[in-house]
Amino acid sequence: MYYQLTEEQKRFKESVRRLADERVEPRAKEIDQKGEFAWDIFELFKKQGYFGLCIPEAYGGQTSEHIYVCIAIEEVARVCVSSSLIIQVQALGTFPIMIAGSEDQKRKYGPLLSRGERIINFGLTEPEAGSDASMMTTKAELRKDRYLLNGTKHFMSNGPIVTTMVVFAMTDPSKGTRGISAFIVEKEVAKFMVGKVESKMGIRGAPTSEILFQDCPVPKENLLGEEGKGFRIAMAALDYGRPTIAAQAVGLAQGALEKAIRYSKERIQFGKPISEFQGI
């Protein structure tokens, strides 16, 4: 089936590409070399409303059409993968709230996330629980009007700077994945700690770390959906997240191809650009 962007989507794509070329690409090398989160790029995306691309207008966002967030990620990844993760990680943390949140939760967090007032991520992976979520050891125990979180999350994107997390934890370990629940966890309330910060070979402008929970309080009303529904919520959110990873990969490949073509036209050997040689 042949698929083509609508005129509105094409205009959006062009606007993101123009912004990426003019404002993001000049910073890309420095962002990777320093290995620091690009707050200036974050503020740029915030002003453009990119964090609201995965949030319906009813909850303070821009649109509920998933393709727009994919377009933005693809065009930014074309010039700077680290910067594309600013949008991507924010979206992945937002998806569970839009999928399973109560009306009150959506109305509270939708505008905050859309405006970039909260930096959010997706807390599923653990040292012993990657693809197999049934091995999860982080626990949430209900104590009167709050849950207490204990455990460790691993490879948390934007972990050192995050202010809100969607955390998946066992409320009934005897049930395996059916005992996993999801929570909206605010750092100023839970007081979770940043553990080891990873030193990475690439995408260094998107910090990755452990997050440590030691009797971290989470209000009962911050439970997402029902107890035991966390695994389903996580899988549904990841279904939305996977196309953004594909978009990021396409953008990165496009950027690499464009640079290779440009270099082949500039590099002179034997009196002519190497682009004119049959092997190229």
Full domain range(s) for residue 153:
7-256
Residue 230 lies in a domain: yes
CATH of the domain at 45: 2.40.110.10
The answer to whether the CB of 81 falls within 8 A of the CB of 258 is no
Return the pLDDT at 116.
96
Residue with tokens 């990620």: 73
| Count of domains observed in the chain | 1
The answer to whether the CB of 97 falls within 8 A of the CB of 110 is yes
Phi and psi, residue 56, nearest 5°: -60, 155
Residue 130 lies in a domain: yes
CB atoms within 10 A of CB 252: 18
List Cβ neighbours of 87 (8 Å cut-off, separation of 6 or more).
45, 50, 51, 53, 69, 72, 73, 76
Rounded Cα distance between 164 and 121, Å, is 7
| φ/ψ bin of 145: left (φ > 0), alpha (ψ from -120 to 50), beta (otherwise) | alpha
Return the pLDDT at 45.
98
Per-residue model confidence as pLDDT tens for the chain (280 residues) = 678 999 999 999 999 999 999 999 999 999 999 999 999 999 999 999 999 999 999 999 987 789 999 999 999 999 999 999 999 999 999 999 999 999 999 999 999 999 999 999 999 999 988 788 888 999 999 999 999 999 999 999 999 999 999 999 999 999 999 999 999 999 999 999 999 999 999 999 999 999 999 999 999 999 999 999 999 999 999 999 999 999 999 999 999 999 989 988 888 898 888 888 888 7
Residue 13 lies in a domain: yes
The answer to whether the CB of 241 falls within 8 A of the CB of 92 is yes
Residue 19 lies in a domain: yes
List Cβ neighbours of 95 (8 Å cut-off, separation of 6 or more).
54, 122, 236, 237, 240, 241
Residue 111 lies in a domain: yes
Rounded Cα distance between 41 and 77, Å, is 13
Q: What is the 3-state secondary structure (H, E, C) of 111-125?
A: HHHHCCCCCEEEECC
- DSSP code of 130? S
Return the pLDDT at 1.
65
Among 153, 166, 168, CA closest to 227: 168
Question: How does pLDDT run across 134-183, given as a tens digit for each residue?
Answer: 889 999 999 999 999 999 999 999 999 999 999 999 999 999 999 999 99
Residue 266 lies in a domain: no
Rounded Cα distance between 167 and 179, Å, is 14
Return the pLDDT at 279.
81
List Cβ neighbours of 65 (8 Å cut-off, separation of 6 or more).
none
Residue 205 lies in a domain: yes
In angstroms, how far apart are the furthest CA atoms of the chain? 79
Residue 272 lies in a domain: no
Total H helices, total E strands in the chain: 8, 10
- DSSP code of 177? G
